Amino acid sequence: MDRGGRENLSREKPTREEPAAEPTARFLRACRRLPVDATPVWFMRQAGRYLPEYRAIRARHDLLEITRRPELAAEITLQPVEALGVDAAILFADILLPVVPLGFQLEFVKGEGPVIHNPVGGMDDVKRLRRVDVESDLGHVLEAVRLVRRALEDDGMPLIGFAGAPFTVASYLIEGGPSRDYLKTKRLMYTGCGQGNGAGAWDLLMGALAETLGEYLAAQIKAGAQAVQLFDSWVGVLSPGDYARYVLPYSRKVLERVRETGVPAIHFGTGTAALLSLMKSAGGEVIGLDWRVPLDAGWQTLGHQVAVQGNLDPAVLFSPMPVLREKVEDVLRRAGGTPGHIFNLGHGILPETPVENVRAVVEMVHEWVVR
């Protein structure tokens, strides 16, 4: 996948999707609620440890190193496209990469997940945030986007870019890693929100993240991403009132930046049954649903002016074939063939998932006809 480095890439004409043109790829058509020949399907975390070809690369390189080497990131992005027959590729990267140029020390610790060695405690830390120039600071990710787009161009296979939403990224920065109760995050949210006395630490942190993440997505789109997903994976820990007040304005800012580009955005979270209408109002042409809400009920709450993505429980991929089929068909039946359904899991593929079951789901989805 060595294509001669940066110089060649920067001379290339931009590969930006013309937003006005009606797309032909199933996935992009479904994002716009256009009719499709079969339901499109892809999987969150479709590139990862359940794939032997990913593990072979991981055995020789650590995660951050892979994301800093565009040719490796591109190769891994393409693995599930070849292995599974999915309808879209998702860039291999991580939602936490933009925090490095913001000034955070990020490490992925085996068995623990991401660790931030200098977490945010209060205003002093927020004031130390660096201003990010996405084109230079995250140029390695944008280069991976260009490489993948070029590799997929001939097949018309769409590439999804992504970022973490301000709340979910902030939660890692404040907690210093994964959390159960998000107590530190909520404490900063409740005390660091300016109550008429100017912006507090929360407002400044969320404002800086919204700005950076919006520009990061816009840069991925400019480099060739034809859709983007905003991952607000942990936002379900908030009440609707808190979401509306402390989070929605910042997610809206990110999604408005994407909207200016004309490229569709998928707005995803888990545990969001009570937040769906608010998430829709924050933005996104597609709303991601997890498995805790039946797809038809979720879509009804949202209204059919948005597309939906989801929502098989990732654990179902460990069940015997007849159960797997029953549950896949249940999701499809609830979507009812209405234009604007993208089949996916309700959250990412789990590391021990049998690859043949993932492949079987792709076939089931593609073969399914409304009855």
The site for ligand CP3 (CB under 6 A) is made up of 44-49, 58, 63, 90, 92, 94-96, 108, 113-114, 162, 178, 231, 233, 347-348
- Determine the Cα–Cα distance for residues 217 and 37; give it in Å rounded to an integer: 29
Q: How far is the CB of 200 from ligand CP3 (least distance, A)?
A: 25
Identify the helix (H) or strand (E) that includes residue 199.
Answer: none
- Determine the Cα–Cα distance for residues 53 and 296; give it in Å rounded to an integer: 36
Cβ nearer to ligand CP3, comparing 116 with 205? 116
- Residue with smallest beta-carbon separation from ligand CP3: 233
Q: How far is the CB of 28 from ligand CP3 (least distance, A)?
A: 18
Q: How far is the CB of 23 from ligand CP3 (least distance, A)?
A: 21
Catalytic site residue 94? yes
Q: 314 near 353, Cβ under 8 Å?
A: yes
- 94, 125, 242, 313: which is the annotated catalytic residue? 94
Helix (H, G, I), strand (E, B) or coil at 174: helix
Cβ nearer to ligand CP3, comparing 32 with 45? 45
Catalytic site residue 182? no
Catalytic site residue 325? no
- Determine the Cα–Cα distance for residues 68 and 3; give it in Å rounded to an integer: 16
- 3, 16, 32, 45: which is the annotated catalytic residue? 45
Cβ nearer to ligand CP3, comparing 9 with 57? 57
Nearest-Å Rg of the Cα atoms of the chain is 20
- 49, 69, 150, 259: which is the annotated catalytic residue? 49
- Determine the Cα–Cα distance for residues 231 and 90; give it in Å rounded to an integer: 13
- 50, 54, 172, 243: which is the annotated catalytic residue? 172
DSSP assignment of 263-285: --EEEEESS-TTTHHHHHHH--S
Q: How far is the CB of 21 from ligand CP3 (least distance, A)?
A: 27
Catalytic site residue 128? no
- Determine the Cα–Cα distance for residues 235 and 274; give it in Å rounded to an integer: 11
Cβ nearer to ligand CP3, comparing 140 with 333? 140
Catalytic site residue 69? no
Q: How far is the CB of 181 from ligand CP3 (least distance, A)?
A: 16
Cβ nearer to ligand CP3, comparing 58 with 252? 58
Q: Which two tokens stand for residue 103?
A: 């000034």
Output the CA–CA distances (angstroms, integers) from residue 285 to 84, 229, 230, 331, in the order listed.
26, 10, 11, 20
Instruction: Tell whether omega for the bond before 311 is within 30 degrees of 0, i.e. cis.
Output: yes
Q: Which residues are catalytic?
A: 45, 49, 58, 94, 172
